[in-house]
Structure 1
């Protein structure tokens, strides 16, 4: 059934009443606070609370969503139902409309205080392609890949909101196997198109979060760009995993799409062979039919499909906590590079240029092997909405600045 909001032009904006993503915003001279996107506006939840229109236990007059996220699923559902009522019933329009602020008039901030950051490696197409690049005569997949969701632990302090400048990192790199490594600016700067989920309700140390409890702990999804310095990464990742090649920057979108908004996007995930161990088995369809789009300087270069991801989000969370590691409010878990089987579905330049062997031609005729200073990378995503239209997960964007001397 279609639910229609009285907010003008919101139905086909990607931010209709069937979406209602949460974010944090500010205006000049005012403190940051929590809002919800509806059409071309931000609905000021702190102002709604002050007017007695919604419940607020000090959740919304805040610079992050963490206080609301820890409140749990019952609070999330109740607030969503109340906001839907306020935005669809004309009887509430006079009271609510003054609390709508044009998005163009606000500064959108990082929506959460990130506790821990984990990045997975869950696309079979991405893992297979990169394996062929680096092990052309061997098995492209390591022996553990189809048995568990491979991941590395990142750095929460360098998770930045969309729009934050990305300074080209420096580090050790070895371009010639016959020479000593050199220090200098990254020569193979890359992006990775990813989708992440954000934990709200924590878990106790020594316990685990089973796949069936995913919706009790996870608040919603964001877009992620896991920037990568490939030459630094390849030299340092022997034998341990990524460190400086990843820790300099990770960008996230401004809006957090709640799980409830993605019900219509849920699809069965690809078949898994061999069958995963019991703690990784999922009884519900938790693939997500998200269509991603990657742009360099406003030119589309790739459209990765998220529905093809081999390991689902509940499986990732179950694996991350199976050893008893506690879940914390604000934990961010990224999917790993989203890629499909076709060349125009690859989610990073490493794949698109075969590690710099083949030039990628942009629509304007320019070419890239890896990112250049001044390039702006933007990622967008849409998903089926409950009303039959498509919802937008917003975008995550960043511009490359030269290395600091």
Structure 2
């Protein structure tokens, strides 16, 4: 049994959009209110507030502020739970301390839990608390027990719902094959079986269009400032802001679609997958390559491979970052230190005279090292 999310676009009517906006605002207010209480308590006593304390204070807050009763109460309670979870992760050193939420964040959302059938998919509509039936673009059937639903409003003005369900996933048939993957910038991924996935460079293809749209947005912002208009009242600015947001959304959607299709194809065709444990945050410090590295999304690709392998009974092994996959000859094991130069794309082994393509040789070495780690029982400790 796993937790799996289904994301669909929804089309709320005008009245439903108002309720969604109110729920997002109230959820943000509750989160910020108890975060402020937590910070004050920590300054005074040296200790924060437990989830039970915040949860008990929630009904009292609703009595003081009657407008909190207009929205879904479960969504407000979820904000309190999210704050407690944020602090739990902070004390475990998994993330930074929680910060106050802003209405200027690009994506606004709230989460409501499934209770007594308050969330259900009925035909081409979804039933949500306080909203009733909302038109749904259902692209696939939902299987499993619904746990919660998250309603999001994107900067482009589009609305989406993510439905988290508990479901059972069957393992894929075994192929009894292994593969090594070397990721790059010229090509997105090079596999040890000579399969090459090209780098589509979705951002570069739309970069000029995005730059032009952003210049127009900047001019309209200056025009609104000269006219002493607030930006949320400047209609031309808001129209152009949505155009810019749509271009960003198009880039993100194309990239996610490509990563999902590529990772699923690799998981289906191979049982053991060896990848390099890259420290992408360190690589981004190279300002000559930072844009290209960010565009190619190696971390997201690895995340997809790992959770899909867990779902479908496959194995992903991360080889240590200090493993010299590019320098080793995949035929004889000789280490050629001149290959440290990234400009050297093809080389001949001085020991056995084997000719190597840099990327494919690295993928073969990653496959061999992954099999060695798996055989030795040290997978995951590399």
TM-score normalized with structure 2 length:
0.22
More relative contact order, 1 or 2 (CA 8 Å, 6+ apart): 1
Asked which structure has the greater CA Rg, the reply is: 2
Greater percentage in strand: 1
